[in-house]
Amino acid sequence: MSEWFNKFDFVSPLTEWGMSMYYLGFLKTTRKPIVIKQYVSPDSWGAIADEMMRRQSECFQDEVRLFAMLLDEGIIEYFDYHMEPGRFFLVFDVQAACQLVCSDLKAENVDKAIKSAGVSAK
């Protein structure tokens, strides 16, 4: 497993939306709550799996460029990403995730998950 994963504590799943799974996590260094988006690669793709992975990779790269620009402009507070064969991850601050990334993520539900995790952000 990549060293990249050591930066985060993955806490619990939040929702599945589109072709992605969203998890609550925390930055290990600051205990800041974050949302981790993982692109899902369904086993049911069968014969079109290679084409779907190529498209998923393109979408991922587009999102990386977009959110890097938003971070540079100060519109979002935190953004990170990681790609390895067949697995794509994006990491956002909670506000950005709820407002810009996934309409299925509701801030009040994420807040409840943070409280349930028993970890307070510093």
Tokens 């409840």 appear where?
112
- Asked if residue 122 belongs to a domain, the reply is no
Give the chain's domain count: 1
- Asked if residue 16 belongs to a domain, the reply is yes
Average pLDDT, the chain: 86
Contact between 34 and 26 (Cβ < 8 Å) = yes
**pLDDT of the residue at 13:** 92
Rounded mean pLDDT of 72-93? Answer: 90
- Asked if residue 25 belongs to a domain, the reply is yes
Rounded mean pLDDT of 59-63? Answer: 92
The CA–CA distances, whole Å, from 4 to 31, 43, 61, 74, 90 equal 16, 25, 17, 23, 12
- Asked if residue 65 belongs to a domain, the reply is yes
**pLDDT of the residue at 122:** 46
pTM above 0.85, yes or no: no
List the structure tokens of 113.
Answer: 């998950």
Q: Which domain holds residue 110?
A: 3-117
pLDDT of 98 > 90? The answer is: no
Closest CA to 63 of 44, 40, 82: 82
Q: What's the CA gap between 35 and 18, in Å, rounded?
A: 16
**CATH code at 103?**
3.30.200.20
Dihedral of CA 67/71/75/79: which sign? positive
- Asked if residue 46 belongs to a domain, the reply is yes
Considering 26-35, 36-45, 94-103, the range whose residues carry the highest mean pLDDT is 26-35
The CA–CA distances, whole Å, from 63 to 18, 49, 58, 81, 89 equal 14, 21, 9, 10, 11
